[in-house]
Amino acid sequence: MHPELILRPQQMKQADGLTVASGIPGIELMRRAGRAVAEAAAKMLMKEAHVVIAAGPGQNGGDGFVVAALLAGQGYRISLGLLGRVEQLSGDAVLAARDWKGPVVPIDSLAFDEADLIVDALFGTGLARDLEGVARIAVERMNASGKPILAVDLSSGIDGDTGQVRGVAVKANRTITFAARKPCHLLMPGRAYCGDVEIADIGIARETLEATSGRLFANTPSLWLDKLPRPELSSHKYDRGHTLVLSGGATRTGAARLAARAALRTGSGLVTVASPPEALGVNAAHLTAIMLRGCDGPEGLHHILQDERLNSLVLGPALGVHSGTRAMVAVAAHARRSLVLDADALTSFEGLATEVHQAFRHAPTVLTPHDGEFMRLFKGHPDIIDPESKIERAHRAAAYTGAVLVLKGPDTVIAAPDGRAAINANGTPYLGTAGSGDTLCGIIAGLMAQGLPAFEAACAGVWIHGEAGASFGPGLIAEDLAELIPGVLRKLLT
């Protein structure tokens, strides 16, 4: 399978159509889909177990009929309930329903409480509106039963494209999807509702999936591994870039050091902390391999950047929310180095997004807001903050600023101004700890210092950060993260 591919519902429909046109009948695809679900169900069941199948009015329901026939043939006890009437079915679902020789009962008479396993085949990618009435009650009863639920394609009630709940949705333990993941398998809350997702190959060719999938990906190493820097025998530290991290004032210096250490651990050949004069003492007391320079405001930064070897900058963590920070961002953007902006560097532009309109299109720039920072930065720009899809929000912000957007959260989305986007899925709740975001900035800047383009650096950085956090688990603090980076890189590079 191709884990980086994601197909939006419309694109999946297109891939399905092309496959049928190439000579594989739709009912054959449906039978393969149903077989994959039946195989997964059988692995979850004892012999002669009772399987309750909720089938919907479309092709997702058709898959449900295939599952029913296959599992009945293997000796399982099946109850199948349909939303609507058999005569109302259309397309391949009609053929699939003919294969099922057992009774079809109205969905509201299904006894979910008596199931050993519930198969949710109510709605898939064709969900068109919020669940109401009988459909809504069926989902609520499934969830209330406490029985294990296996979803066909996706949890019914989840919007395949945005991952949002349409009124109510099935809390599935597991989902079998077909050919490729859909956005809802990675975006929250859909990811949580779908449970463990398995991709079943139903014979749709890779070329077809690639031709229809567009520029949205799952953030897996296959996206950027070939671009990850690998030092050669003849490499010199100066070949591996020089990252500059701006420090906050005397009582706010830790964030910059966290970012700086992460950049160094990620392979930036040299790293310097640029510190306000009054904070030089405290920074000096805590730095060893990382260098230190005094930097007095925007003019100081302008002066330091006369050194062309400083090729990657981190600006924002603990810098303070004020016009001085905005001026520093302007100097950095003007200097045309790789740039990572986070925290105060973003919040200082609260309500002033027009000041960053296309500001970053001349140099590789990555903005790393969480939802709150994103909303503050683009306040007054409903076209950017209102779309329901997180991918769309990130896309629009990237196009507006000319920067790569890392819209952080449990389902971090990375979007480039050229239209590429990736959804990350390896994050861990343990990353929600003070200083974790500073470390992420340092990783991304460290990768850009070594020549990785902004989008790949952001994707790789988010993934490495997630992997580092997950490898530690409970008790993780930001100081641990930088020390975990070598282990993650070792696995990627060897």
CB 179 within 8 A of CB 12: yes
CB of 421 to ligand NPW, least distance (A): 22
Please give the Cα distance from 162 to 169 (Å, whole number). Answer: 13
Residue carrying structure tokens 């790393």: 368
Decide whether 193 or 360 has the Cβ nearer to K ion.
Answer: 193
Binding pattern for the stretch 37-76 against ligand NPW, x by CB under 6 A and - elsewhere: -------------------xxxxxxxx-------------
CA pair distance 318, 342, nearest whole angstrom: 9
Is residue 431 a contact partner of residue 252, using CB atoms and an 8 Å limit?
no
Q: Pick what 120 binds: ligand NPW, K ion, none; C-beta below 5 to 8 Å, kind-dependent.
A: K ion
30 binds ligand NPW (CB under 6 A): yes
In the list 11, 79, 125, 436, the residue contacting ligand NPW (rule: CB under 6 A) is 125
Task: Choose the stretch contacting ligand NPW; rule: CB under 6 A; options: 121-129, 243-251, 276-284, 338-346.
Answer: 121-129
212: DSSP letter: H
200 three-state secondary structure: strand
Q: Which two tokens stand for residue 139?
A: 């989902």
29 part of the interface to ligand NPW, by CB under 6 A: yes
Task: Kindly state whether residue 178 participates in binding ligand NPW, applying the rule CB under 6 A.
Answer: yes
With helix as H, strand as E and coil as C, how does 324-377 read?
A: HHHHHHHHHHHHCCEEEECHHHHHCCCCCHHHHCCCCCCCCEEECCCHHHHHHH
Query: Which residue number has the CB closest to K ion?
Result: 156
Q: Which helix (H) or strand (E) holds 315?
A: strand 312-315
Q: Please say whether the beta carbons of 6 and 215 come within 8 A.
A: no
Binding mask 428-457 for ligand NPW (x = CB under 6 A): ------------------------------
Query: How many amino acids of this chain bind ligand NPW (CB under 6 A)?
Result: 28
Residue 131 makes contact with ligand NPW by CB under 6 A: yes
Q: Is 16 in the site for ligand NPW (CB under 6 A)?
A: yes
Encoding tokens for residue 378?
């683009």
What are the start-end ranges of the E strands in 124-166? 149-152
CB of 123 to K ion, least distance (A): 6
Residue ranges of the annotated binding site for K(+) are 60, 120, 156
Site residues, ligand NPW (CB under 6 A): 12-13, 16, 29-30, 33, 56-63, 123-131, 135, 152-153, 178, 202
Residue ranges of the annotated binding site are 59-63, 120, 124-130, 153, 156, 255, 370, 408-412, 437-438
